[in-house]
């Protein structure tokens, strides 16, 4: 019985640790719309866009000039 509990506990602990690494973020656009991201958006200097993953799993890009604020939840 103990041989099954220890690995299961370690696996659960690892999953909780990984889940704590992502920081949900809200991007507020100049027109008042809010977009939710799974993690902090990454800024691409070459294109001038923020890239992020939305809560539904889709990737999105938004021009930095369209963003009013970026806040962590």
Per-position DSSP letters for 14-67, written without gaps between them = HHHHHHTT---EEEEETTS-EEEESSPPEEETTTTEEEEEBTTS-EEEEEGGGE
pLDDT at 14: 61
Task: Classify residue 59: in a domain, yes or no.
Answer: yes
In a domain, 42, yes or no: yes
For residues 37 and 61, give the distance between their C-alpha atoms in angstroms, rounded to a whole number. Answer: 11
- Is 1 a member of any domain? no
How many angstroms separate the CA atoms of 73 and 65, rounded? 22
Alpha-carbon span 49 to 21, nearest angstrom: 23
Give the pLDDT confidence score for residue 7 in this predicted structure.
72
CATH of the domain at 63: 2.30.30.100
Q: Is residue 5 assigned to a domain?
A: no
Question: Would you write out the chain's pLDDT as a tens digit for each of its 73 residues?
Answer: 557 776 776 666 665 555 556 789 999 999 999 999 999 999 999 999 999 999 999 999 999 999 999 999 8
């Amino acid at each position: 019985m103990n041989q099954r509990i220890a690995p299961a506990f370690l696996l659960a602990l690892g999953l909780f640790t990984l889940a704590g690494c992502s920081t949900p973020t809200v991007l507020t656009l100049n027109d008042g719309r809010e977009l939710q991201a799974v993690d902090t958006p990454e800024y691409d200097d070459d294109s001038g866009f923020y890239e992020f993953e939305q809560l539904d799993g889709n990737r999105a890009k938004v021009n930095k000039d369209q963003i009013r604020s970026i806040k962590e939840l």
